[in-house]
Amino acid sequence: MPKTYAEYSFLSLEEKMELFAVLDYVESLDVMRLVKQYFQEIGHDYSINEVMEESDKIYEGARQISISRNVDLICNDLQEAGLSYWYLTVTEKSKLFEF
């Protein structure tokens, strides 16, 4: 873990997601709490807006990765079953995407 905000600011979005262990299905408020706690631990003088903006970036990045992984899994499942998305019924599509 970076010990200063300067070191933290050089991390990529992916590195920040790893730092906070933000993976699939995390709540945005949980990310905000983690970011705020980390900023406090390193002695960074933060504003609530800074915490919100940083946590939003991390949350959205994790969400996009999660969505991408799920789409890949669904596509692989369809391919392995020899099915085409275009020939599925609306009910079958909704079950695939868990609606």
Q: What was the pLDDT predicted at 99?
A: 57
Q: What was the pLDDT predicted at 24?
A: 65
Asked whether the CA dihedral 55, 57, 61, 64 is positive or negative, the reply is positive
Q: What was the pLDDT predicted at 25?
A: 64
Residue 18: closest CA among 54, 50, 58: 58
Which structural domain, as residue segments, surrounds residue 74? 5-96
| Number of structural domains the chain divides into | 1
Residue by residue, pLDDT tens for the chain (99 residues) are 899 999 999 999 999 998 898 876 678 899 999 999 999 999 999 999 999 999 999 999 988 888 888 888 888 888 888 888 888 888 888 887 775
Residue with tokens 């994790």: 62
Q: What is the pTM of this model?
A: 0.74
The DSSP call for residue 12 is -
